[in-house]
Amino acid sequence: MKLDILAFGAHPDDVELGCAATIAKEISLGKKVGIVDLTRGELGTRGSAELRDKEAANAAGILGVTVRENLGFADGFFKNDKEHQLEIIKMIRKYQPEIVLCNAIDDRHIDHPKGSQLVSDACFLSGLLKIATELDGAQQEKWRPKQVYHYIQWKNIEPDFVIDVTGFMDKKISSVMVYSSQFFNPKSSEPETPITSKNFTDSIEYRAKDLGRLIGVDYAEGFTSERYVAIENFSKLI
């Protein structure tokens, strides 16, 4: 099954926090989008892996993604090595996305930059003919996504480009808040963490609003790219 966009996140909820509005917008334009979570977020202070599985499935339903998979890597301890790269390559070759979205290049949680580099490296390696991978007993074809972009999560990273997501913030916020075990919840008796504050929940909207302000729209999401972002002509620029 070929997808247009494949979004990777170290933990279930990373994709929602980083780029859910962009995903919702692309789906509304007829694009096929999938999500691959690297871990089940089992080290999260609140909730459990089982609960995160359910929350992730609900968020996928809200966004309308075609598929969501979880690679079951070890939360906090997965590595950017051959073993993990091959698992990512299998996903890239399985879904043959034109665009890959992945974690922030730098962030508070150590898994985010690690996952970011792991996915970026795998996108390159996936295009090499002599790296053989098999899925369900069948040999896979090489595939290199045309673009790899990194979303922005906890830290304020200066984006290389921003996407107007006006009209899609409600979907983003719904997809984030479905992770009720993770974010601001005055009824929770579990320990507080940096992401359970009301300020953090509010930041999802106020960051998008601020990025939107800077480009003259209501809301925007920012991305970075390891190479130049190329445009064919000026007509699609806002």
Q: At what angle do helices 49-63 and 169-177 cross, to 10 degrees?
A: 160
CB of 112 to Zn ion, least distance (A): 6
- Residue closer to Zn ion by CB (options 57, 110) is 110
CB of 226 to Zn ion, least distance (A): 20
* x/- letters, 103..122, toward Zn ion (CB under 5 A): ------x-------------
| Position among 3, 6, 8, 11 found at the interface with Zn ion (CB under 5 A) | 11
Do residues 95 and 34 lie in contact, with contact meaning Cβ atoms separated by under 8 Å?
yes
| CA atoms of 134 and 195, how far apart (whole Å) | 38
Q: Contact between 37 and Zn ion (CB under 5 A)?
A: no
- Residue closer to Zn ion by CB (options 103, 140) is 103
* Residue in the shown chain whose Cβ atom is closest to Zn ion: 11
Residues forming beta bridges with residue 149, ordered by sequence position: 101, 225
Nearest to 55 by CA among 78, 72, 37: 37
Residues in the chain: 238
Residue 69 half-sphere exposure toward CB, CA atoms < 13 A: 15
CB of 10 to Zn ion, least distance (A): 5
Q: Contact between 25 and Zn ion (CB under 5 A)?
A: no
CB of 176 to Zn ion, least distance (A): 12
- Pairing outcome for strands 220-225 and 147-151: antiparallel
Q: What angle do CA 99, 100, 102 make, to 5 degrees?
A: 150
Q: Contact between 14 and Zn ion (CB under 5 A)?
A: yes
Among 14-22, 71-79, 189-197, 207-215, the segment contacting Zn ion (CB under 5 A): 14-22
The residues that touch Zn ion, with contacts defined as CB under 5 A, are: 11, 14, 109
